[in-house]
């Protein structure tokens, strides 16, 4: 399938994860994404190291921008003065070009106005009201470009009593219920191992932008998208939310267990752990037989899922005792083809060395100008048996400033002047 967003111009005013993740996925689909960054430091996550990618041993200086019409070459930034490329930044910014721009300055504002005029989509994650104070709120940008799709990503949304509060993944996990249901039953609440609320919000933002592009194709009009971490997290509570809203059932921490299905959790083995799920009575019957206890599936306390949920304190220790007799590898082999879901608990190395990960080519290499060949996770979706290709690596800070400004019609003399003033 040809890249469906080829020719769509995205102006990326986001940083950290939720916004950059959304715009990266748009770039994966073929969009031309210009990431606007602070000229001195860039995206916050550029400084989030270690770990960072090893740097090439060759001098870390970009090739000079070719002169146009015989005019003097522009200033070339010294890449040796930059910190190493952080792994955190690299994972969420492939496919983009970096423009260093200080739009607090008057001439920087003018550059940004020109970018807005030419953009199809603008994505920002400032605290609500901040961009409006700078003259780049939705209404301001709509006057410059009525067809603009303007996506605002924030902690709590553009309205409401908490709208001006900054929102970070970890505090939203706490405030919007996720942390309450994560952790062991007798332990404190814990956060998820990745910034899952940021990632969920990024996914919601991407789908909202795609929907807005379809809408604009029908109406010719742009739209303001209000997407935030708080509501994205609440919408992702799924059955936990439904249990409360429909049945008034308050959730509790279950560890790896499931509140409505037993057995459905991680169990210890002789030398490690294994995840087992028996989502219905037939699957439980098969599990019981392979554990050498076929009688469990006909016992009144365990014969139905509802009875197993009611008697989980009795059943779970029995399963643990049976599994403790052999190492994980034994059970993985024994359960193969058993008719119920099970899996080892892999570490990250095991995940990327997994034969299915390798067979599905979930890791891609790109050439980075400072770090050489780096490995990145491939897009998760295939179309007609193939993934969207990406060849543009995550950008070095300000790598494409001159290129982008020339495309806006700025002469080299004017760009040099903006460089001298610290605007770009």
- Model confidence over 253-270: pLDDT tens digits? 999 999 889 999 999 999
Determine what percent of the chain is predicted with pLDDT higher than 70.
Answer: 97
Domain boundaries, the chain: 9-236+383-420, 264-345
Residue 206 predicted with pLDDT over 70: yes
Q: Is the peptide bond before 413 cis (omega within 30 degrees of 0)?
A: no
pLDDT at 59 exceeding the cut of 90: no
Chain segment 108-133, per-residue pLDDT in tens: 999 999 999 999 999 999 999 999 99
Instruction: List, for residues 335-348, the tens digit of each pLDDT value.
Output: 999 999 999 999 99
Task: Report whether pLDDT(6) > 80.
Answer: yes
| Whole-structure pTM value | 0.92
Angstrom distance (rounded) from CA 149 to CA 227: 13
Same fold flag, 9-236+383-420 and 264-345: no
**Architecture field, domain 264-345:** 2-Layer Sandwich (3.30)
**Kind plus residue range of the DSSP H or E element containing 174:** helix 169-175
List the beta bridge partners of residue 323.
Answer: none
198 part of the active site: yes
The stretches of 39-129 forming alpha helices (DSSP H) are 87-90, 106-118
**Torsion angle (degrees, nearest 10) of CA 299, 304, 308, 314:** 0
For 31, the token pair is: 């969009």
Catalytic member of 28, 77, 102, 198: 198
Distance CA 302, CA 281 (A): 9
Backbone torsion region of residue 212, taken as left when φ is above 0, otherwise alpha when ψ lies between -120 and 50, otherwise beta:
alpha
Which homologous superfamily does the CATH classification assign to the domain defined by 9-236+383-420?
A: Crotonobetainyl-coa:carnitine coa-transferase; domain 1 (3.40.50.10540)
Report helix, strand or coil for 267: strand
In the predicted model, is pLDDT for residue 73 greater than 80? no
pLDDT value of residue 26: 98
Whether 20 and 92 have beta carbons less than 8 Å apart is answered as yes
Residue 76, pLDDT score:
78
Structure-model confidence comparison of residues 250 and 79, the more confident one: 250
The answer to whether 101 and 112 are in contact (CB under 8 A) is yes
């Amino acid at each position: 399938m040809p890249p469906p967003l080829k020719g769509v111009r995205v102006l990326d005013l986001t940083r950290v994860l939720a916004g950059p993740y959304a715009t990266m996925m748009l770039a994966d689909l073929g969009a031309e994404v210009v990431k606007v960054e602070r000229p001195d430091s860039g995206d916050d996550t550029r400084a989030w190291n270690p770990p960072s990618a090893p740097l090439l041993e060759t001098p870390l200086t970009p090739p000079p921008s070719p002169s146009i019409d015989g005019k003097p070459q522009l200033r070339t930034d010294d890449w040796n003065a930059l910190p190493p490329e952080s792994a955190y930044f690299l994972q969420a910014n492939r496919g983009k070009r970096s423009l260093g721009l200080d739009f607090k300055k008057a001439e920087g504002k003018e550059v940004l106005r020109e970018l807005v005029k030419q953009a199809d989509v603008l994505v920002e994650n400032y605290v609500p009201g901040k961009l409006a104070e700078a003259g780049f709120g939705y209404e301001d940008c709509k006057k410059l470009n009525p067809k603009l799709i303007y996506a605002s990503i924030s902690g709590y949304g553009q309205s409401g009593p908490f709208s001006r509060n900054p929102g970070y993944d970890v505090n939203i996990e706490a405030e919007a219920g996720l942390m309450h249901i994560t952790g062991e039953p007798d332990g404190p609440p814990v956060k998820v191992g990745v910034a899952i609320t940021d990632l969920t919000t990024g996914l919601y933002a991407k789908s909202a932008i795609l929907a807005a592009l379809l809408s604009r194709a029908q109406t010719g009009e742009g739209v303001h998208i209000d997407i935030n971490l708080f509501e994205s997290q609440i919408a992702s509570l799924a059955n936990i939310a439904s249990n409360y809203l429909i049945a008034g059932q308050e959730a509790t921490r279950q560890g790896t267990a499931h509140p409505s299905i037993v057995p459905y959790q991680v169990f210890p083995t002789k030398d490690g752990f294994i995840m087992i799920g028996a989502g219905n009575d037939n699957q439980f019957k098969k599990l019981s037989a392979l554990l050498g206890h076929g009688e469990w599936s006909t016992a009144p306390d365990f014969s139905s899922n509802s009875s197993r949920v009611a008697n989980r304190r009795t059943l779970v220790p029995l399963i643990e005792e049976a599994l403790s007799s052999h190492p994980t590898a034994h059970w993985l082999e024994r359960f193969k083809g058993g008719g119920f879901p099970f899996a080892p608990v892999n570490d990250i190395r095991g995940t990327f060395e997994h034969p299915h990960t390798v067979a599905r080519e979930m890791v891609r290499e790109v050439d980075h100008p400072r770090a050489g060949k780096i490995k990145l996770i491939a897009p998760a979706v295939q179309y007609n048996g193939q993934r969207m290709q990406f060849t543009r690596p995550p950008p070095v800070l300000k790598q494409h400033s001159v290129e982008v400004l020339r495309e806006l019609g700025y002469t080299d003399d004017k760009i040099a002047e903006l460089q001298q003033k610290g605007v770009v």
